[in-house]
Amino acid sequence: MLARRRFLTSSVASACAFALGSGSARAIGPTSELSIGVVRHGGQWDHRPEALRRLLWETGKRTSINVARERTVVSLDDDGSDEAGALFWQPLLFLTGEGPMPAWTPAARARLERHLRYGGMLVVDAPSPSDPFLLDAARELDLMLPGLTRRRLPADHVVMKSFFLIPRAEGRLRLDETLEGIDLGNRTAVVVSKNDLLGAFERDRFGTWRFECEPDGDTQRERAFRLGVNLMMLATCLDYKEDQVHIPFIMKKKRR
């Protein structure tokens, strides 16, 4: 919780500086609505352009979180752009892609590491366990967080129960039923999915699902949405569901 307090304190300080510099004040940060940040990088970073919009809509429909309508594109480069400035306003970031991802600069790694250590959360979503993007993302994680290893998250990890009780990890595919994570202190700051989670959320401009979910179709798509909502809840509420006071509620919900 201390890391999250520092993160929020830093955000409030940044908001004050922004307001003083621009002459216009804002209530709580740039917006009172929660968005999701997607990391721009040198590879195919935007191969699921509509997915996060749909996840935001589903989260707003299913929870009490006040969500934005659009995702936020963020840059890891400190170049003074709006995308660079948006990084530290996003409690949840998605790093996704298809095919190779060029190496980041040391400065970019340092900015993302700072974001994570001050309370942010990163979800790495690979289109499959064999896609080159996954290897390149693993390389950047190792360089950014040396000495910290990824671990398979157990079935009772808080991400599996932060809002919905879900039995396994899945997305458009179900090739790896577990998630991996990297812990910073007593919280999981990085979550790695290998099942194309965003592919399950992607629609075309006519509102039709772009991809079938395999092997369980729309039932699998629903479970993927539940995982997405859980990730949103974990990023905003940390690990409150680990508190034993929630066990009776969880068991009652499970019986239903």
**Residue spans per domain, the chain:** 31-255
What torsion do the CA atoms of 135, 140, 144, 146 make, to the nearest 10 degrees?
30
User: pLDDT in tens for each of the 256 residues of the chain?
Assistant: 444 544 444 443 333 333 333 333 333 444 579 999 999 999 999 999 999 999 999 999 999 999 999 999 999 999 999 999 999 999 999 999 999 999 999 999 999 999 999 999 999 999 999 999 999 999 999 999 999 999 999 999 999 999 999 999 999 999 999 999 999 999 999 999 999 999 999 999 889 999 999 999 999 999 999 999 999 999 988 655 454 444 454 455 545 5
How far is the C-alpha of 25 from the C-alpha of 22, rounded, in Å?
8
What torsion do the CA atoms of 143, 93, 233, 133 make, to the nearest 10 degrees?
-60
Task: Quickly name the fold that domain 31-255 has.
Answer: Rossmann fold (3.40.50)
pTM for the whole structure: 0.84
Residue closest to 171 by CA, chosen among 89, 96, 69, 61? 96
